[in-house]
Amino acid sequence: MNKSYLDYANYNIWANNRLINDLASQEDKILNHEFIGSFPTIRATILHIWYAETGWLSRMQNGEWSVDKVVNFSEDTNVLFNKWKDTSLKFKEFVETADLENEIKFEHKGEQFSIPAREMVQTVFNHGSYHRGQVVMMMRQLGVSKISQTDYIEWARERERGNV
C-alpha cells in the first residue's frame, strides 16, 4: 500500500465530510435548485460523485460496475449523506488493503481495458475534487458565503496541526 494513496483517501473523506456539513446546515431546498451546468442540481452532483465512488469501488473489488443503489436512490438528504460517507470509508478500506498495482480488466462500450487499480483510485479522488468545486460554485450562486475549505493543501495543514 502506498501511503500517498491512503493520504488521498483520508483527504477525500475529510473534504466530503466538510462539504456535507456545510450543506447540512442549509435549507434542504438548495439541494434541488436548478442550475445550468454539468448537473442540474447540487443533489444530482452529489449523487454523481457517490455514483463514481460506488462504481469504481465495485469494479475494483469484483470486476462489475454495480451502481443500482445510487441510480435507484430516492431517500432523503441525511440518508444520502450517510450512504456517501459509508462508501468513502469503504473506498479507503480498499486502498488500505488492496494491491494497487493490480491490473483491473473490464469492458466498456465494447472495448477491453486493463488499468492498474492505483489509476482508478486516483481518478476517483480527482473526480471528487472537481465536482466538490462545482458544488461550492452552486452554493456561492445561491448566496451561501460560509463554505469550508476542501483543498488538499488545507487538509495537509490540518493534518500537520494534528486536527485530522
List the binding residues. 48, 127, 131
Q: Would you say 60 and 104 are in contact if contact means Cβ atoms under 8 Å apart?
A: yes
Residue 164: which of 39, 2, 12 has the closest Cα? 12
8-state DSSP, 35:
-
Report how far residue 122's alpha carbon sits from residue 116's, in angstroms, rounded to the nearest whole number. Answer: 10
Provide the annotated binding site for a divalent metal cation. 48, 127, 131
Residue 89: which of 163, 19, 25, 16 has the closest Cα? 16
Report how far residue 27's alpha carbon sits from residue 6's, in angstroms, rounded to the nearest whole number. Answer: 34
* Total residues belonging to the chain: 164
